[in-house]
């Protein structure tokens, strides 16, 4: 299922900033942390890839395994 999102542009005298807001459901599914730094990669003119740091992913995998083991027992 897709989540339509509007791109926002704020123009200033000497610069401009583009904003993309994540819908809450997407941010929660990805388990973003406040202040987390991510990297955008351009795949082609239709796709952007959001890359997380290895540390962020490792901690999520540890928590996922721990939570799944609790559910089994």
3-class SS string, 9-20: EEECCCCEEEEE
Tell which residue, 53, 34, 48, has the closest CA to residue 5. 48
Residue 50 and residue 40 in contact, taking contact as beta carbons nearer than 8 Å: yes
pTM exceeds 0.85 = no
37-to-43, 46, 56 alpha-carbon distances in Å: 19, 23, 10
pLDDT in tens, 9-43: 999 999 999 999 989 998 888 888 888 889 999 99
Residue 10 and residue 27 in contact, taking contact as beta carbons nearer than 8 Å: no
């Amino acid at each position: 299922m897709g989540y339509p999102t509007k791109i926002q542009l704020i123009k200033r005298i000497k610069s401009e900033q583009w904003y993309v807001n994540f819908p809450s459901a997407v941010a929660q599914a990805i388990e973003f942390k406040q202040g987390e730094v991510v990297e955008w990669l351009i795949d082609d003119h239709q796709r952007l890839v959001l890359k997380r740091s290895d540390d962020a992913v490792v901690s999520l995998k540890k928590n996922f395994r721990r939570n799944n083991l609790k559910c089994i027992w």
